[in-house]
Amino acid sequence: MTADAVDRPALRARLESFGTRVRGGDLGPLPVIAGLVVIWGVFQTLNPVFLSSTNLVNLTMQCASIGTIALGIVVVLLLGEIDLSVGSVSGLAAAVLAVGFVQAEWPLVLALLAAVAAGTAVGLVYGLLYTRFGLPSFVITLAGLLGVLGAQLWVLGETGSINLPFDSWIVQFAQQMFLPPLVAYALVVASVLAYGWSLRRRAVRRAAANLDSQSLWEIVARSGILLVLLLGATWYLNLSRGVGVMFVFFVALVVVMHLLLSRTRWGRAVYAVGGSVEAARRAGIRVERIYLSVFALCATLAAVGGVLAAARLAAANQSSGTGDTNLNAIAAAVIGGVSLFGGRGTAFAALLGVIVIQSISSGLTLLNLDSSVRFVVTGVVLVLAVIVDSLSRRTRAAAGRG
């Protein structure tokens, strides 16, 4: 019997399983990918510069700071909660970095640690208020938005705006550091090999437990397609400045968070609590600790995003973290596919969602349209994403999939 004869039934079974999941409301990243294709197609038609390598390099660099903040929102939404103060927390971190590094003349590493620690402290306060007093996260973080903004203004003092030295490595990291082409290609190959190895390892474990598992040919095919896509994207970005180190850092954070959520006991507990708090408690999960750790993690990532934003602008001021920072971070997580009802979504939602958000912003900027149009378009896309989530949830409930 030929390998082709063996593989065709497996392929047919996979396609049928995929169709069943889609009909059952488990759409995965399909809606956001389809939306991204439409958005890119429209903007490219209206302005051929949109998909140029130069513009895409700029787009990837713009994704890092908001995407990092959105990654924290993803984890909070998995619990069915929300953090409305991530913008203010990012602004506070930027202020602490600038004041510590420039005015107090701390070593840069110490200033960075202090900025991130400030965010972690805010998140721990949120977690304690939530677990000890049962206050809704909406109220806690709304109050935190105001309180942390006040702390940011107090830290900045009368100066109001502080410039970071352009020759500091944190500014160079955010503005000027790009991977050499050979390093970028090697990183892509190594990442795909690690991805294929993880798929194979998972398939072996499932087969040993007599569960449905991916065949070797399917793993090779998926890894090969991913390799071609990533190598093509890397080659295209290298036609301009290349792959930014800050963007690679953001993607690495997404991958690490994905592994934490999917491969650790803590991650499984997050999904369990988001699915049903009472069921998780009866299963022996320390629910209070999960809430505390998630709020702290969200604020920590917001602080890291604030540091990246300050480094990107080479400055921290009274407007850092304000404006549409909250809107974009929360919208990116929801548009990326995280359910507002908790328990469903992945870390990659932050990556997909922020690419959509920044694509809209970049495309409208190239068309010289007012920022008011960007807010309207982003709001419409956000509503459509929530509608898809709601309809998918109803379909899963009707199909008995929860």
Residue 28 pLDDT > 80 = no
The span from the CA of 207 to the CA of 214, in Å, is: 9
Report residue 4's pLDDT band, with 50, 70 and 90 as the boundaries: very low
212, exposed or middle or buried, with CB in 10 Å at 0-12, 13-18, 19+? Answer: exposed
Look at residue 1 in the predicted model and tell me its pLDDT: 39
134, exposed or middle or buried, with CB in 10 Å at 0-12, 13-18, 19+? Answer: exposed
Residue 7 pLDDT > 80 = no
Q: Which CATH number, 1.10.10, 1.10.540, 2.30.29, 1.10.3470, labels domain 29-177+244-395?
A: 1.10.3470
pLDDT in tens, 115-150: 999 999 999 999 999 999 999 999 999 999 999 999
Percent of residues, the chain, with pLDDT higher than 90? 70
Look at residue 3 in the predicted model and tell me its pLDDT: 42
Residue 9 pLDDT > 80 = no
pLDDT in tens, 261-294: 999 999 999 999 999 999 999 999 999 999 999 9
Residue 321 pLDDT > 60 = yes
CB 89 within 8 A of CB 307: no
Distance of CA 340 to the CA centre of its chain: 15
The span from the CA of 402 to the CA of 395, in Å, is: 9
Q: Domain ranges in the chain?
A: 29-177+244-395, 178-243
Count H helices, E strands: the chain?
16, 2
Residue 15 pLDDT > 80 = no
Residue 13 pLDDT > 60 = no
At residue 160, the 3 state secondary structure works out as coil
At residue 163, the 3 state secondary structure works out as strand
pLDDT in tens, 36-93: 899 999 999 999 999 999 999 999 999 999 999 999 999 999 999 999 999 999 999 9
37, exposed or middle or buried, with CB in 10 Å at 0-12, 13-18, 19+? Answer: exposed
Report residue 17's pLDDT band, with 50, 70 and 90 as the boundaries: low
pLDDT in tens, 348-390: 999 999 999 999 889 988 988 877 787 888 788 878 777 876 7
Beta bridge partners of 162: 316
Look at residue 10 in the predicted model and tell me its pLDDT: 55
Report residue 391's pLDDT band, with 50, 70 and 90 as the boundaries: confident
At residue 165, the 3 state secondary structure works out as coil
pLDDT in tens, 208-239: 888 877 888 889 999 999 999 999 999 999 99
The residues, any chain, with a CB within 8 Å of residue 240's CB and separated by 6 or more, are: 52, 53, 54, 56, 57
DSSP-assigned letter for residue 244: B
| Dihedral sign, Cα of residue 152, residue 139, residue 330, residue 67 | positive
Look at residue 207 in the predicted model and tell me its pLDDT: 86
